[in-house]
Amino acid sequence: MFTIGTFNVTDIHTVRINPGLSEGEGNLTLEFHAETYHGSGEEVMSEYTFFFKDLHKGYGTLMAELRKGMAKYIERQEANG
């Protein structure tokens, strides 16, 4: 696969979840705002879509990993400060 990085993200605006073509499949779209690079403070909107073979499993693992990742981040911040 590949890695995508987006800088200056300010917030997740909406999340859309839709069924796929086959049973169990589906997609999850994160719509977000990000500031432009030129420092004007202007925000643009964009989105990422994840197409899951098993939507329930994909969603579950995404949420679990977000929780674990934030817990590790908080633990490091507390250890450093």
Q: Report angle CA 55, 65, 35 to the nearest 5 degrees.
A: 90
Of 38 and 69, more confident: 69
Range of the domain at 36: 9-80
Say how many domains are in the chain. 1
In a domain, 1, yes or no: no
Give the Cα separation of 13 and 16 in Å (integer): 10
Q: Is residue 63 part of a domain?
A: yes
The pTM for the full model equals: 0.82
Measured distance CA(13)–CA(33) in Å, rounded: 7
pLDDT of residue 6: 87
Mean pLDDT calculated for residue range 5-25: 95
Give per-residue pLDDT as tens, 34-62: 988 777 878 889 999 999 999 999 999 99
Q: Could you identify the residue written with the tokens 């590949």?
A: 2
Domain membership flag for residue 44: yes
Side chain identity at 40, as an amino acid letter? S
Residue 48 inside a domain? The answer is yes
- pLDDT at residue 19, as a whole number: 98
Which residue would you say has higher pLDDT here, 42 or 29?
A: 29
Alpha-carbon distance of 51 to 18, in angstroms, equals: 10
